Amino acid sequence: MSTDTTTPTDAGTRGARGPRRSRDKQPASRGSSAPGRTVEPPRQRRPALAALAVVLVVGGALLAGVLAVRMDERVPVLAAAREIPPGTEITAADLVEVAVASDGLDVLPAAAVDQVLGAYSVSTIPQGSLVNAGNLSTQAPVGDGRAQVSVPLNPALTPTGLTTGDLVEVVRVSGGNVTRARVLTEGLVVDVDGGSADDLGGIQLGTVTLLVPTEVAAEVVDAAGADLAGLALLERGQPVDTDLEVGS
């Protein structure tokens, strides 16, 4: 017969260790990680940003294509080879051919050069400016019975904003031996030269070039020289062949 030599203390010890080993062998819960290791969250996709990038790339390519096409659409037109004063008969030396994108521009094609030669400028055409039909007339601005005169743009006697094609009334204002104002004639503005500052810091008055009937040209020049020529604006946008009435 065998004798059980297990003591109560040993039995208690085994009973206590058994459950601890059982707990140590339990599987780790889902989602746990090893000590010291960081679990990164899943990367978020941003389809809107990707779509925007595609749109920008495609849009840039389309814009470059449009610009390239527009460059290819440039056409030869006429421009001023030098400054052309009003009343000048246009010659080949006054013109130069340039290539521009003519969409929306008032220009004359280079092929129309034969129609431009022999025409007259109705206003100053700066060097390099594109020539258009509004700059030209088939009739000489200084025709029979007309003369060009210059009148200073005295702010007290002339309106502001005068431009080519304005029909004005030339008035000799009172002063000197003239006791009351008198209308001399109607005149047509063909050029305006704005004022500028001189070397001493003063202001030089601008001038306006008028077409007036020959019979009163001397009186207009005399009044302008005495700073007694006033201008009154009557109408705008008149052609160079506008009839000009002499004052009474």
CATH number at residue 101: 3.90.1210.10
The answer to the question of residue 41 being in a domain is no
Query: Which of 137, 158, 185 represents a domain boundary (last residue)?
Result: 137
Query: Which of 110, 137, 164 represents a domain boundary (last residue)?
Result: 137
The answer to the question of residue 79 being in a domain is yes
Q: Could you tell me the two tokens for 120?
A: 């007259």
pLDDT tens per residue, range 132-190 = 988 888 877 677 788 989 999 988 899 988 988 899 999 999 876 767 889 999 999 98
The answer to the question of residue 152 being in a domain is yes
- pLDDT value at residue 197: 52
Q: Which domain holds residue 127?
A: 75-137
Domain identity same for 183 and 133: no
> 101-123: string of b/e by CB count within 10 Å (b at 16+)?
ebeeeebbebeebeebeebbbbb
15 confidence band (pLDDT: 50, 70, 90)? very low
pLDDT tens per residue, range 96-108 = 999 988 676 788 9
Query: Which of 105, 137, 169 represents a domain boundary (last residue)?
Result: 137
Domain identity same for 128 and 196: no
The angle at the Cα of 7, spanning 4 to 11, to the nearest 5 degrees, equals 100
Could you give the number of structural domains in the chain? 2
3-class SS of residue 56: helix
Domain identity same for 156 and 204: yes
| CA–CA gap between residue 147 and residue 37 (Å, rounded) | 100
Q: What is the mean pLDDT of the chain?
A: 77
